[in-house]
Structure 1
Amino acid sequence: MIFDLSFGTIGIISENIAEVIVNEGTIMTLEMCEEYDAFLEEQFPHPFAILVNKLHNYSYTFEAKLHIASLENLRAIASVTYNEHGAQETKKLVKRRAADNWNLKEFSGLQMGRHKALEWLETELVDSMIKK
């Protein structure tokens, strides 16, 4: 199932994995992040993971950078990038949020990245359940 939100789409891949695709040129605001959070909390009241498919170029406001990916049940984030700009933006965001110690891994969309990312997310979800 794919859901349209104000900033892009969220596809429900499985009972505990969502794929996020942000629209080209979007500037993610705090309000958009709150919409994103509310949707994910409703869909996943249990541990889940996110695949961020960076098909498009987009950016975040400062407030959004401080807020994004702060959900309690979020166990892993896979970022699939298709160019150097997307990879660098992911690295900058991870660096800014280093204190949060995200379980995030980047994959190249040009090298079967989406498939590898989904496999990694499934493994991370299983591992997080074992550790609990």
Structure 2
Amino acid sequence: MNFELSFGSISIVDEHIAEVIVNEDTVMTLEMCEEYDAFLEEQFPHPFAILVNKLHNYSYTFEAKLHIASLEHLMAIAVVTYNKYGTEQTQKVLDQRAVDGLVLKEFSGLKMGRQKALSWLETVLADSMIKP
């Protein structure tokens, strides 16, 4: 199932994993993050993981960087990047949120990254006693 939101789309991969694709040149704001959170909380009232597929270049406001990945039931995030910009943006978020101990791993989209990311998320969920 695929859902369009104001900033991009979210696909429900299975009962515990969502895939997020943000539109090209979007600047993710706090309001967009709140829309994102409300959608995910409705779809996943239980532990889940996110695959961020960075097909497009986009950025975050400072407030959005501090807010993302704060959902109670979010267990892990896999980020698939396709270029240096995507990798840099992912690292900036990790740097700003280092004290939060996010369970986040980056994968290269040029090296079967999406499939590796999904496998990693399934492993993290299984290790958390959740059946993906």
Matched residue, 1:95: 95
SS of residue matched to 1:129: coil
- The CA distance in 2 between the partners of 1:129 and 1:3, in whole Å, is 28
**How many pairs align?**
130
Q: Which runs of 5+ in 2 are unaligned?
A: none
Matched residue, 1:45: 45
Are 1:82 and 2:75 matched, yes or no? no
TM-score by length of 2: 0.97
SS of residue matched to 1:57: coil
SS of residue matched to 1:75: strand
Q: Which runs of 4+ in 1 moved over 6 A?
A: none
Matched residue, 1:121: 121
Which digits, 9 at most, give the CA deviation of each residue in 1:98-128, with x for residues without a partner?
Answer: 0110000000000000000000000000111
- The CA distance in 1 between the partners of 2:100 and 2:128, in whole Å, is 16
TM-score by length of 1: 0.97
The 5 Å alignment of 1:1-132 reads: 1-129=1-129
What RMSD, in angstroms, separates the aligned Cα atoms of the two structures?
A: 0.8
Q: Which runs of 5+ in 1 are unaligned?
A: none
SS of residue matched to 2:12: strand
